Amino acid sequence: MTIIEQPASVPSPRAGGADGGPLLEVRDLHVEFHTRDGIVRAVNGVNYSVSAGETLAVLGESGSGKSVTAQAIMGILDMPPAKIPQGEVLFRGQDMLKMSADERRQLRGAKIAMIFQDALSSLNPVLTVGYQLGEMFRVHQGMSKKDAKAKAIELMDRVKIPAARERVNDFPHQFSGGMRQRIMIAMALALEPDLIIADEPTTALDVTVQAQVMDLLAELQREYNMGLILITHDLGVVADVADKIAVMYAGRIVEQAPVHELYKRPAHPYTRGLLDSIPRLDQKGQELYAIQGLPPNLLKVPSGCAFNPRCPKAQDICRTDVPALVEVTERDGGALPGRRSACHFWEETIHG
């Protein structure tokens, strides 16, 4: 059995902001792209937050603005063509959008790390994984080559790569997709960040490997008491790992809820459609439900509720008035903490 040495400074409970509030808070964030065809409003007033030890899943179909929101948080959008006309990204209460490029660079990697979908294109093919993992320590902490290699092996152990000591000198292509994704997780963990943003970290993997990598990420997140933002288009993979969910559609959040509440009683027809599209073992052989139509072209978002052309519940008001993201309550007005919906007919959707 491999005995895994615990890094000295973890796990220690970490406070959120200076006042003990959320670790990261995104407020009224807008991102637009100025293109030759017009202005693409990819993120349209997004609000979400995540605390230490908490996992927020951000869910939505392709093109809903999940990655652009994350890239705006990380400060890795190319500006131009992107522009952030409005909004705040508060990390421990400090607005990252107002920081200098240097200050943001220091936060990235050290305090906030990102894991991308495609490990192969994120890793350098001509350098060993040990070198690339060790680089984090050599560059950021001025460690010697020998110590950095030892740290690399320790990290590979942490993410359960078998025979880490022997494999530390292998190149990325010598690992399977699942193992490469573990290496990406190890890279993200290297400097013990407070927050990890994982953008579709398991999408490229097959289903059983997806579950293993997701479980590992959840386990490490708990152990290190990190905040985790998990971006996915697959509602099936987040049920066991997320605390709360934000559902995005056409650049806006359309529903927010604690994870189990959302599964039990969605308060938005789009979420209901996503839930009905998850394959279920007890329905084997039956045709799978799919939400009709496609998400809108962001240059031509439908008026009113952007979901109206696809919504089985749409009425006239849906074609004219944009629904605000409002608090959702029980039938008798009782509070449902953390629940919000942007649907004119949320009441009949949740209680109907």
Q: Which is nearer to ligand ATP, 60 or 273 (CB)?
A: 60
Query: Which segment (2-10, 66-74, 284-292, 336-344) binds ligand ATP by CB under 6 A?
Result: 66-74
Q: How far is the CB of 299 from Mg ion (least distance, A)?
A: 18
Does 33 bind ligand ATP (CB under 6 A)? Our answer is yes
Q: Rank residues 131 and 307 by Cβ distance to ligand SF4 and give the closer one.
A: 307
Q: Which of 29, 68, 96, 305 binds ligand ATP (CB under 6 A)?
A: 68
Per CB under 6 A, which of residues 301..340 are in contact with ligand SF4? 305, 307-308, 311, 313-314, 318, 323
User: Looking at 12-20, 59-67, 104-112, 157-165, which segment touches ligand ATP (CB under 6 A)?
Assistant: 59-67
What does 313 interact with, of ligand SF4, ligand ATP, Mg ion, none (CB < 5 to 8 A by kind)? ligand SF4
Residue 195: φ, ψ to 5°: -140, 135
Phi/psi for 255 (5° steps) reads -155, 145
Q: Which of 243, 317, 247 is nearest to 277 (CA)?
A: 247
Residues 48-67 that bind Mg ion (CB under 5 A): 67
87 binds ligand ATP (CB under 6 A): no
Interface with ligand SF4, residue 242, by CB under 6 A: no
DSSP reduced 3-state for 138: helix
Least distance to Mg ion from the beta carbon of 66, Å? 5
We find the least distance from the C-beta atom of residue 247 to ligand SF4, in angstroms, to be 11
What is the rounded CA–CA span in Å between residue 197 and residue 157? 22
With beta carbons less than 8 A apart as the criterion, state whether 202 and 214 touch: yes
Report the distance separating Cα 269 and Cα 286, nearest Å: 22
Residues 235 to 274: which contact ligand ATP by CB under 6 A?
none
Under DSSP, is residue 120 helix (H, G, I), strand (E, B) or coil?
Answer: helix
The answer for residues whose C-beta is within 8 angstroms of residue 73's C-beta and 6 or more apart is 24, 26, 89, 96, 112, 197
Binding to ligand ATP (CB under 6 A) within 269-328 occurs at 298
Query: Interhelix angle for 129-141 vs 101-110, to 10°?
Result: 130
Nearer to Mg ion, 67 or 181 (CB): 67
Q: Where are the beta strands (DSSP E) in the chain?
A: 24-35, 38-50, 55-59, 82-91, 94-95, 112-115, 195-199, 227-232, 244-249, 252-258, 326-329, 335-341
Beta strand pairing status for 252-258 and 244-249? antiparallel
Amino acid identity of 233?
H
CA atoms of 69 and 65, how far apart (whole Å): 6
Q: How many positions of this chain bind ligand SF4 (CB under 6 A)?
A: 14
119 sits in which H/E element: helix 119-122
First to last CA, the chain: 54
In the bound state with ligand ATP, the residue whose beta carbon lies nearer, of 83 and 313, is 83
Stretch that binds ligand SF4, among 152-160, 275-283, 285-293, 343-351 (CB under 6 A): 343-351
What residues numbered 254-283 form the site for ligand SF4, per CB under 6 A? 268-270
Q: Cβ distance 328 to 268 under 8 Å?
A: no
- Closest to Mg ion by CB, 67 vs 308, is 67
Residues lying near ligand ATP in the complex (CB under 6 A): 33, 35, 40, 42, 60, 62-68, 81, 233, 298
Residues lying near Mg ion in the complex (CB under 5 A): 67
